[in-house]
A and B are shown apart, each in its own frame.
Chain A
Amino acid sequence: MEYFLQQLINGLTLGSIYGLIAIGYTMVYGIIGMINFAHGDIFMIGAFIALATFLILTSVLGFAFLPLVLLIVLIVSMLFTAAWGWTVERIAYRPLRGSFRLAPLITAIGMSIVLQNFVQISQGARVKPLPPQIQGGITLMQGDTETGAILVQLSYMQIIIILTTLVLMAGFTLLISRTSLGRSQRACEQDRKMASLLGVNVDRTISLTFVMGAALASVAGLMFLLLYGVIDFYIGFLAGVKAFTAAVLGGIGSLPGAMLGGILIGLIEVFWSGYFSVEYKDVAAFSILAIVLIFLPSGLLGKPEVEKV
């Protein structure tokens, strides 16, 4: 029971990070029907920008008050990563809009390789460490049983990750469902031509979708950095594939689906590593995806394609 609880907390934490990345996949897919394979690398860039900002603030400028530093890091990395997302869409995807369906997909893979190599060359291939910044936590259960000592801990880091994710997702859901910008995005998703006939600047709306996805991915990047303490140019690949899986599992194109999918993938991975074997955790996650897709081809919360006309 204690072990289960601890794994549940760990799973939710990991799932939050996946969920935040998955939103970027699902929104872009929703609006232009394309899988942005470079999105995982945008997440990686977000982590790098966060690390760089953190080091500049603490070592060069000498800021010492951690919450303020983290807040500045969060804002700076969101802004810069969003600019990366915007640029990638502008130079690599927009010129190909209207060409055959595979073209942007291939470009996206190319873009992913470009970003990885760019970071590898400019930042070096070695892993970049960051000493743990937020330590300690709340002990939920502690005691001795006949099988040994038990300890269930909810670290402050985990609290911060889960809370930030909740706040961001709530805010984001409101943005999409209530604001005029969100409405335009949904309109472009459902009928781009009609949206433009109502005066929506479709190109701008698509750009903003990339910007938002990138900003959320950068938050995930910052969390990844703080949680694991090491990053390298390659972290975007696996995290990206996992988040993409999460988006598909939840139903690609569906926002709540991406969040749910992220949490599920996180839980599956953590529980599998906890109870069975760590080596096979990815196999477990991807097997669940395959099984779900066999029975629910449009994912858990995806909408079926049929529409009454």
Chain B
Amino acid sequence: MAQPLLSVSGVETYYGKIVALRGVDVEVNPGEIVTLIGANGAGKSTLMMTICGSPQARTGRILYDGTDITRMPTHEIMRLGIAQSPEGRRIFPRMTVLENLQMGAQLVAPEHFDSDLKRIYELFPRLKERASQRGGTLSGGEQQMLAIARALMGRPKLLLLDEPSLGLAPLIVKQIFEVIRELNKSEGLTVFLVEQNAFHALKLAHRAYVMVNGRITMSGTGAELLKRPEVRAAYLEGGAH
């Protein structure tokens, strides 16, 4: 089998004395959509941030494309072709939509900018209409689109998406998941997706992990996990619209 694009092994992360990840093993292969589901506070976002080196893992190893990135500073990790649309979107509120996108393209050769921007505007026509508006004035859904678009402007090989559906109307969630599927299919973009909206995420993903209290408790294909009674009971009942 080809080597995984991202491999996390035995990672423990602490916030001060509080343990957030208790030995996590996750692999993401090139061209896959992998999702991580779990309840609030399970450590999903911490894993996303640990991959990006902020905070750094206390023990364990993170390999990206064969390179050990466990102890690299964040900005150097991102240089390798990882982009994240983080928890809470973190749009720059006092920059325009266009400037936010320019920030996303920070590490990309400038000659790609115009064509990349055009493509992003095709994916998210809403952002084009709002191009000169300040990020802080966008609606939640628009901010989410902008966060994903900003990550895509970095031309990543691996896209980390942290709860892209949080607080959004079902129609917009569908739209955003559609875009992710499309990018994966047409460009082979590898996606690692954290979600509370387990139903959608499991349907979208090739493989999935379940995280409870800082540990991976289950893994399998998306379809497999969807059928598991314990997954249904914990994450899907009442949530499957």
Q: Could you tell me the distance between the alpha carbons of A183 and B103 in the complex, rounded to whole angstroms? A: 7
Q: Could you tell me the distance between the alpha carbons of A5 and B103 in the complex, rounded to whole angstroms? A: 46
Mark out the residues of chain B between 159 and 201 whose CB falls within 8 Å of any chain A CB in the assembled complex.
none
Mark out the residues of chain B between 49 and 94 whose CB falls within 8 Å of any chain A CB in the assembled complex.
52, 54, 73-75, 78-79, 83-84, 86, 88, 90, 92-94
- Most B C-beta atoms less than 10 A away, residue of A184, A193, A307, A308: A308
Known contacts A197-B84, A201-B75; is A187 also within 8 Å of B90 by CB? no
- Are A198 and B136 in contact, CB atoms less than 8 angstroms apart? no
Mark out the residues of chain B between 214 and 233 whose CB falls within 8 Å of any chain A CB in the assembled complex.
none
* Residues of B with C-beta under 8 A to A184: 103, 106
Since A186-B95, A303-B94 are in contact, a sample of 10 more A-B pairs with Cβ atoms closer than 8 Å, ordered by chain A residue number, is A186-B92, A191-B92, A195-B103, A196-B75, A197-B52, A197-B54, A197-B86, A198-B83, A202-B75, A307-B136
- Asked if B157 lies at the interface with its beta carbon under 8 angstroms from chain A, I say no
- Asked if A199 lies at the interface with its beta carbon under 8 angstroms from chain B, I say yes
Mark out the residues of chain A between 183 and 214 whose CB falls within 8 Å of any chain B CB in the assembled complex.
183-184, 186-187, 190-191, 193-202
* Residues of A with C-beta under 8 A to B93: 190, 307-308
- Are B75 and A183 in contact, CB atoms less than 8 angstroms apart? no
Mask, B1-16, CB within 8 Å of A = 1, is 0000000000000000
Among B52, B103, B136, the residue within 8 A (CB) of A308 is B136
- Asked if A180 lies at the interface with its beta carbon under 8 angstroms from chain B, I say yes
- Asked if B137 lies at the interface with its beta carbon under 8 angstroms from chain A, I say yes
* Residues of B with C-beta under 8 A to A195: 103
Number of interface residues of A (CB under 8 A): 21
Q: Could you tell me the distance between the alpha carbons of A63 and B235 in the complex, rounded to whole angstroms? A: 80
Which positions in B face A, CB cutoff 8 Å? 52, 54, 73-75, 78-79, 83-84, 86, 88, 90, 92-95, 99, 102-104, 106-107, 136-137, 150, 154
Known contacts A186-B95, A198-B78, A308-B136; is A193 also within 8 Å of B103 by CB? no
Q: Could you tell me the distance between the alpha carbons of A127 and B208 in the complex, rounded to whole angstroms? A: 73
Q: Could you tell me the distance between the alpha carbons of A266 and B79 in the complex, rounded to whole angstroms? A: 46
Q: Tally inter-chain residue pairs, CB-CB below 8 A.
A: 66
Nearest 4 pairs between A and B by C-beta?
A199-B78, A194-B90, A196-B74, A199-B107
Which positions in A face B, CB cutoff 8 Å? 180, 183-184, 186-187, 190-191, 193-202, 303, 307-309
The smallest beta-carbon distance between A253 and chain B, in angstroms, is 10
Can you report 15 A-B residue pairs in the complex whose CB atoms are below 8 A from each other?
A: A183-B99, A186-B92, A187-B103, A190-B94, A193-B90, A197-B74, A198-B103, A198-B104, A198-B106, A198-B107, A199-B75, A199-B107, A201-B73, A202-B75, A308-B137
* Residues of A with C-beta under 8 A to B79: 199
Known contacts A198-B104, A307-B136; is A191 also within 8 Å of B75 by CB? no
* Residues of A with C-beta under 8 A to B78: 196-199
Among B54, B83, B88, the residue within 8 A (CB) of A196 is B54
* Residues of A with C-beta under 8 A to B52: 197
* Residues of A with C-beta under 8 A to B88: 309
The smallest beta-carbon distance between B12 and chain A, in angstroms, is 21
Q: Could you tell me the distance between the alpha carbons of A55 and B92 in the complex, rounded to whole angstroms? A: 48
The smallest beta-carbon distance between A211 and chain B, in angstroms, is 19
The smallest beta-carbon distance between A41 and chain B, in angstroms, is 31
